[in-house]
Structure 1
Amino acid sequence: MSRLRAFWTFVRELAGERDYERYLAHRAAHHPGAPVLGEREFWRERTDRQDRVPSARCC
């Protein structure tokens, strides 16, 4: 993996960009057949949760 690609992967991890991908993988592995949130709904729920529980976020 090139250094630029490794750096970009690191930045995406810090920004939380892969959270939806991880959510889908978790649902498929642990809750097969259960409905999943669409990407827009996932991010809305995540943002709402951070507003309700400020300790759930870093900043």
Structure 2
Amino acid sequence: MKPRRLYGLVRWYLRELTGEAAYDRYLDRHRLAHPDEPALPRRDFERLRTDRGDQHPGARCC
């Protein structure tokens, strides 16, 4: 496997693992569903995401 491709795969995996890619997915969905409305800034998105996780812990251990 070429180093550049390997780097891309590792980067993708780490972004998915840490949740970093969630904001990018949010922006993509928001543009499609609400093209005339501004998207949440990243800080507000992360705050809502954290609050939602605290209210609905699901399978989290802590």
Identity %: 40
Q: What do you get for the CA RMSD once the two structures are aligned?
A: 1.6
Normalized against structure 2, the TM-score is what? 0.78
Runs of 4+ in 1 over 4 A off after TM superposition: none
Distance in 2, matches of 1:19 and 1:58, equals: 17
Query: Superposed, which structure 2 residues align to 1:18-33 within 5 Å?
Result: 18-33=21-36
Name the TM-score, length of structure 1 as normaliser. Answer: 0.82
The separation in 2 between residues aligned to 1:4 and 1:13, in whole angstroms, is 14
Alpha-carbon offset, residue 15 of structure 1 = 1.2
Q: Which has the larger radius of gyration?
A: 2
Structure 2 gaps of 5+ residues are none
Runs (5+) with no aligned partner, structure 1: none
